[in-house]
Structure 1
């Protein structure tokens, strides 16, 4: 990523960013109330951020995942979840839904994905996860457009 300075959207329009943060907080509450646990929420947010190419949000959500007790092996397996045996049926359904939200421009959430995911998650969980996915996709776009830096851990000063 280049060192070119970009407009920092959250600093340049703090009121808009605060609204996005408030939306995210509301979505987090909805997610918890629906029975979606922190592990599942962090797994899908990492995966969406990986797929979107948002290194900044990957860093944020890996740190949060570690904080809620997700081990390094599980985090490393997220990118290859289809081939990995470390995820539950519920997590696999959520990861599939997450990918559909990343590639929403390819015809939305297909009937096949909707049916598979709906066979595992309740409607309440589906709705909450969908809002969570809308939220993380929005944050990914803010960070990517602004080229938010992700320095090596030793250089964060």
Structure 2
């Protein structure tokens, strides 16, 4: 676990803004069905400045006008890499990424996505359960 914690520490210093990182972490966790990670990252996303509207419609981001072109490119890449077995990291997903992000940012974003996928596999695989909180106790 030390290696994963070290990797997580590195991702916090990347070129991708914290609010976008948290949005991506939530989307990857939605796809992977990781309730623990959703529970951890939703409050972090709010604290980082992600609007409640974006959080509310994240599962249907493709149909929403709440997201900027940059966010849409990042979310598309997150979906594509998380579902790589069916997407093959398609050119249609990479093109918007390349248009919106520098090469360094593309690498950094890919590391955020990859790290979150790894965390999801630990949490889901080892059946980590999020704590129940009283209603309104975020």
Normalising by structure 2, what TM-score?
0.91
Distance 1:99 1:82 in 2: 11
Cα offset for 1:27?
A: 2.3
Once residues 49 and 99 of structure 2 are traced to their aligned partners in structure 1, the CA distance between those partners, rounded to angstroms, is: 27
Hey, what does 2:112 align to over in structure 1? 132
Alignment of 1:18-29 (within 5 A): 18-29=2-13
Match of 1:37 among 12, 17, 23: 17
Query: Which runs of structure 1 show a deviation greater than 3 angstroms over 4 or more consecutive aligned residues?
Result: none
Q: Distance in 1 between matches of 2:42 and 2:87?
A: 29
Q: Name the counterpart of 1:14.
A: none
How far off is 1:125 after superposition?
A: 1.0
Matches for 1:73-152 after TM superposition, within 5 Å? 73-152=53-132
Task: Identify unmatched segments of 5+ residues in structure 1.
Answer: 1-16
Task: Spell out, residue by residue over 1:43-64, the C-alpha distance to the aligned partner (whole angstroms, 9 max, x if none).
Answer: 1110000000000001111011
Residue 70 (structure 1) aligns with: 50
RMSD across aligned positions (CA): 1.6
Change (3 A) 1:122 1:144: same
Gaps of 5+ in 2: none
- Rounded to whole Å, the distance in 2 between the matches of 1:56 and 1:72 is 19
Q: TM-score, length-normalised on structure 1?
A: 0.81
Partners of 1:66 and 1:106 lie apart in 2 by 31
Q: Distance in 1 between matches of 2:51 and 2:92?
A: 31
